[in-house]
Amino acid sequence: MFDSHYDYASDARRDNVVAMPMRGAVPREPSELTRFGMMYGASPAMREVFAMVERVAPTEAAVLVVGESGCGKELVAQTVHQLSARADAPFVAVNCGALPGSLIEAELFGYEKGAFTGANRTHPGVFERAEGGTLFLDEITEMPLDMQVRLLRVLETRCFTRVGGEREMRCNVRVVAATNRDPHQAVAEGALREDLLYRLAVFPIALPPLRERAADVLLLARHFLGELNREHGTQKKLTEASEAAILRHAWPGNVRELKNCLQRAYIMSENWVEVDPENAMPGMGSRPATRPGMLEFEVGTSLPDMERRMIIATLDKFAGNKRKTAEVLGVSLKTLYNRLNEYARREARYATA
């Protein structure tokens, strides 16, 4: 199914990587990193993601990928595209959060010559450029609400009009969207229209952060080092101390942080690669280490999301003892049960969206 994109057989067992066959087969050795499309992983969490992608890719369903920054949401979208009937058509990605509000309409739908100052020629938007293929809308919760209304109409009618144009154009595009926020919380905060959420989340996929993929961390590090060795014709290896440091680190920047950290350590080393994740950017200040039993929150995380993570982590710390959890958090047992019931309802609603 992937033959036109990648020779998986030639990569088998290279740098502890095996290609994951279709239909849910798993590697014989749990110590091996599995490649599935553009993604890598050996942990149960990632194998579940692989299975979900394999299920939805051949369909025309809209997909919403939810995960922290640096987890590889675009790789999920690219894999969905590669495994679909649209694989030979374009894959076009656009970051909704990187476009100014004044330009996002022109980038999505294109514009006619003379539509505004500087429009010296007709410009096709991403819906036209992705015709017949897949359009990846990253950071969908950062799109202005008025544009969300227009996007919803295009998704429902498959028709749009260029800025400055009058002719309605039809499009044949599959949309995969992504966000690093809790989508239901984004709806509650007014950042995402609820009707658009349900239109995009026909098939939601939750991508786990690297800290929840313990079986993958060291395998990924070795894999990235192997790529660098092949690229530069070297045979550098990780020291035992480096491997221990990699396993200890929380990786708040997820796979992107791990890959960048390995690349810098590779550049700075001779034969043995010394990795120090806590001092990966010398001269740029230090970041407090996240010790076991501690939570780390990215600036900009919503208070309800921090509260949810704190409750779940505390409940886990006390092995599910709700009375002890409520006592430590300083809330009543009733309040704790209300919160947990709310989270359960939200998860159920999200799973059936």
- What H or E segment, with its residue span, contains residue 338? helix 333-351
146 in the same domain as 77: yes
Residue scoring higher pLDDT (197 or 314): 197
Looking at residue 91, what is its pLDDT?
98
Which residues span the domain enclosing 254?
211-279
Confidence of residue 247 (pLDDT cuts 50, 70, 90): very high
**Per-residue pLDDT band at 37 (split at 50, 70, 90):** very high
The answer to whether 145 and 193 are in contact (CB under 8 A) is: yes
Give the mean pLDDT of 13-27.
Answer: 44
Handedness of CA 94, 95, 99, 105 (dihedral sign): positive
Instruction: Tokens for 250, please give them.
Output: 């929380």
Task: Decide if pLDDT at 19 tops 60.
Answer: no
For residue 263, being part of any structural domain is answered with: yes
Side-chain half-sphere CA neighbours of 6 within 13 A:
16
- Res 4 pLDDT > 80: no
- Of 353, 65, 81, 43, nearest to 211 by C-alpha is 43
Find the mean pLDDT for residues 323-330. 86
Among the listed residues 251, 203, 295, 286, the one whose alpha carbon sits nearest the alpha carbon of residue 70: 251
> Which alpha helices (H) appear in 271-332, and where do they start and end?
303-317, 322-329
Q: What is the mean pLDDT of the chain?
A: 83
pLDDT classification of 26: cutoffs 50, 70, 90: very low
Residue 13's pLDDT is what? 37
Which of 254, 245, 236 lies closest to 279 in space, CA to CA?
A: 245
pLDDT at 250 over 80: yes
User: Is 215 found in the same domain as 186?
Assistant: no
The pLDDT-based confidence of 22 (bands split at 50, 70, 90) is very low
Residue 12 has pLDDT above 60, yes or no: no
Residues 174 and 153 reside in one and the same domain = yes
Nearest to 250 by CA among 217, 290, 306: 290
Asked if residue 244 and residue 186 are part of one domain, the reply reads no
For residues 141 and 241, state if they share a domain: no
**Structural domain count, the chain:** 3
Cα 91 to chain center, whole Å?
Answer: 16
pLDDT, tens only, 164-212:
888 889 999 999 999 999 999 999 999 999 999 999 999 999 999 999 9
- Specify if 10 maps to a domain: no
State residue 348's pLDDT score.
52
Strands of 39-41's sheet in order across: 17-19, 33-36, 39-41
Phi (first) and psi of residue 144, to 5 degrees = -55, 145
Co-location of 158 and 215 in the same domain: no
pTM of the model: 0.72
Distance CA 208, CA 312 (A): 16
Contacts of residue 244, defined as CB under 8 A and 6 or more positions apart, other chains included, come to: none
Q: What is the pLDDT of residue 11?
A: 39
Of the chain, the percentage scoring pLDDT greater than 70 comes to 83
* 73 inside domain: yes
Q: Give the CA radius of gyration of the chain.
A: 23
Higher pLDDT, 279 or 350: 279
Instruction: Report the range of poorest mean pLDDT among 8-12, 195-199, 252-256.
Output: 8-12
Average pLDDT over every residue of 54-68: 97
Mean pLDDT calculated for residue range 53-73: 96
- Do residues 219 and 235 both lie within one domain? yes
Helix spans in 160-286 (H): 183-188, 194-200, 214-232, 240-248, 254-268
Same domain membership, residue 227 and residue 250:
yes
The pLDDT value given to residue 347? 55
Of residues 99 and 26, the one with the higher pLDDT is 99
Give per-residue pLDDT as tens, 92-136.
Answer: 999 998 887 778 888 899 888 877 777 778 888 899 999 999 999
Please check whether residue 5 lies inside any domain of the structure.
Answer: no
